[in-house]
A = this chain, B = another copy of it.
Amino acid sequence: MKIGFIGLGNMGTGMARNLLRAGHHVVVYNRTSGKAQALAADGARIAATPADCCRDSEAVFTMLSDDSAAESAVFGEDGIAGALAAGAVHVSSSTIGTAMARRLAAAHAARGQEYLSAPVFGRPEAAESAKLIVVVAGPAGPIARCRPLFEAIGRQTFEVGPEPWQANALKLCGNFMLASMLESFGEAVACLRKARVDPQVFLDAIVALFGSPVYANYGRMVVEERFEPAGFALRLALKDVRLVLETAQEVVAPMPVASLVRDRLLSAMALDQANLDWSSIAKVSARSAGLRDS
Encode A169-198 as 1/0 by CB contact (under 8 A) with B: 110011011101101110110111011111
Q: Are B195 and A184 in contact (CB under 8 A)?
A: no
Hey, which chain B residues are within 8 Å of A169, CB to CB? 191-192, 195, 197
Q: Does A34 contact B (CB under 8 A)?
A: no
The listed residue (B173, B184, B252) touching A180 by CB distance below 8 A is: B184
Shortest CB-to-CB span from A107 to chain B, Å, is 20
Hey, which chain B residues are within 8 Å of A163, CB to CB? 196
Q: Does A236 contact B (CB under 8 A)?
A: no
Hey, which chain B residues are within 8 Å of A204, CB to CB? 158
Q: Are A205 and B121 in contact (CB under 8 A)?
A: yes
The listed residue (B185, B260, B270) touching A253 by CB distance below 8 A is: B270
Among A156, A187, A260, A267, find the residue whose CB has the most chain B CB atoms closer than 10 A.
A187
Q: Are B254 and A289 in contact (CB under 8 A)?
A: yes
Q: Are A288 and B259 in contact (CB under 8 A)?
A: no
Q: Known contacts being A195-B169, A212-B212, is A201 close to B158, with CB within 8 Å?
A: yes
Considering only CB atoms and an 8 Å cut-off, how many residues of chain A contact the other chain?
78
Q: Does A130 contact B (CB under 8 A)?
A: no
Among A159, A209, A269, find the residue whose CB has the most chain B CB atoms closer than 10 A.
A209
Q: Does A206 contact B (CB under 8 A)?
A: yes
Q: Are B156 and A252 in contact (CB under 8 A)?
A: no
Hey, which chain B residues are within 8 Å of A176, CB to CB? 184, 187-188
Report the Cα distance A165→B212, complex, angstroms: 27
Q: Does A37 contact B (CB under 8 A)?
A: no
Contacting chain B: which of A9-17, A77-85, A241-249? A241-249
A residues whose Cβ falls under 8 Å from a Cβ of B: 98, 121, 133, 135, 155-156, 158-161, 163, 165-166, 169-170, 173-174, 176-178, 180-181, 183-185, 187-188, 190-192, 194-198, 201-202, 204-206, 208-215, 242, 244, 247-249, 251-260, 262-264, 266-267, 269-272, 284-285, 287-290
List of 6 A-B pairs having minimum Cβ-Cβ separation, nearest first: A270-B290, A212-B212, A253-B289, A259-B259, A194-B251, A254-B263
